[in-house]
Amino acid sequence: MNIQTPKKPQVAIMNAVHDLPVLVARDKGYFKDEGLDLEFVTTPGMAQVTTAHSVKFDSVFERPLDSVYNDGGIDQYRMCEWGIMKRAVEADREGLRGRKIVALGASMSSFAIVVAYDSKAYEPEMLKDQAIAVTPNNGSHFTTLKIMEGFLAQEHIKITNAGSMPKRIEALRQGKVSAVSLMEPWISVAQKQGLRILIESHSTRSEAAGDDLDGPTLAKMFRAQARAVKVLENDPPPYIHYFIAETGGLLEPHEFQTWRLLHAAPQPYTRERFDDTYKWTVKWNMTVPGAAYENTVDNRAWE
């Protein structure tokens, strides 16, 4: 008689800027305190200096993290709120493994639009019709649009792809693009290299999960993250090494701008939040119209 061992929930780890509360909760044993036995799966992210691929895929579902999820290699992950929205809305329409928004995430990552030191752009509106390098359909893309639409009409905001964040910085230094969108630790790297920050904003994360993770399991995961947030609020330096490692030696711990870190306990994803965010993504033609809150959001962890 074969007795199958229950599969551990598999949780994605990508960039520290997305996942620091998860990493801290893992390191401090908070998940285990909740009675959880999780497997943590590392997937390539655009913040690692070692990431060789550049995003050229027409479909977000062909990207490394999404491919692993679609193949059943991970069950739960987080990324920018708008990116999760797009994936949750479109996966079912493309016949892929379903996923729902299960929380507003713990990390509120700083993003910055950065220009060369001698750039003639001193205000966001001075980038009218000039290319800003982003990761298409990821946080840098969405946050850049959110920032720039306060200064320019939609038709004058131009984005382009220049690869990973270190590749983006190199493209800026070579004059191939007018500006780049960066998150930490690459904002700190850009400052160290003498590049100039034009404007900054925050990008909130969302949590996504498949149907096989039940509400009590998700609730325990989010409680563990909430404990980790309190640790990060009080003493972030012991965990800065995750960011430093992503730069491959380009940054020393004291050069990382810890004041940019902003975290809060995960929260339910409300209908009002869905309506506002979804309408915005549709306005920018970044996802398909016709989705409903009931088919996209699952508050099972909060019931």
Distance CA 234, CA 216 (A): 28
Residue 42, Cβ neighbours under 10 Å: how many? 11
pTM value > 0.95: no
Q: What is the mean pLDDT of the chain?
A: 91
pLDDT at 265: 97
Distance CA 124, CA 248 (A): 30
Residue 39, Cβ neighbours under 10 Å: how many? 12
Asked if 169 and 177 count as a contact pair (C-beta separation under 8 A), the reply is no
Alpha carbon distances (Å) from 120 to 38, 127, 176, 263: 50, 9, 15, 34
> Which amino acid would we find at residue 86?
K
pLDDT in tens, 81-111: 999 999 999 998 888 999 999 999 999 988 9
pLDDT in tens, 137-194: 888 899 999 999 999 999 999 999 988 889 999 999 999 999 999 999 999 999 999 9
pLDDT tier, 6 (very low <50, low <70, confident <90, very high otherwise): low
pLDDT at 63: 81
Q: Would you say residue 48 has pLDDT above 70?
A: no
What whole-number percentage of the chain has pLDDT above 90? 77
- Displacement of CA 85 from its chain's centroid (Å): 12
pLDDT at 1: 43
pLDDT in tens, 123-134: 999 999 999 999
Write the DSSP assignment of the chain as a string of letters. Answer: ---PPPPPPEEEE--HHHHHHHHHHHHHTHHHHTT---EEEE---TT-TT-------SSGGGSHHHHHHHTTS-SEEEEEHHHHHHHHHHHTTTTPPP-EEEEEEEEEEEEEEEE-TT-S--SGGGGTT-EEEE-TTSHHHHHHHHHHTTTS-GGG-EEEE--SHHHHHHHHHTTSSSEEEEETTHHHHHHHTT-EEEEEEEEEEEEEE-TTS-HHHHHHHHHHHHHHHHHHHH--GGGTHHHHHHTTTS--GGGS-GGG--B---B---HHHHHHHHHHHHHTTSS-S---HHHHB--GGG-
Of 12-16, 41-45, 219-223, 267-271, least confident by mean pLDDT is 41-45
Query: Using alpha carbons only, what angle is made at residue 65 by residues 59 and 70, rounded to the nearest 5 degrees?
Result: 70
Q: Would you say residue 79 has pLDDT above 60?
A: yes
Distance CA 67, CA 115 (A): 33
Q: Would you say residue 284 has pLDDT above 70?
A: yes
Q: What six digits make up the tokens of 180? A: 């780049």
pLDDT at 158: 96
> Which amino acid would we find at residue 63?
R
What whole-number percentage of the chain has pLDDT above 70? 93
pLDDT at 54: 47
> Which amino acid would we find at residue 261?
L
302 by Cβ neighbours in 10 Å (0-12 / 13-18 / 19+) ranks as middle
Strand pairing report for 100-115 and 131-134 = unpaired
Residue 182's nearest CA partner among 229, 265, 86, 247 is 247
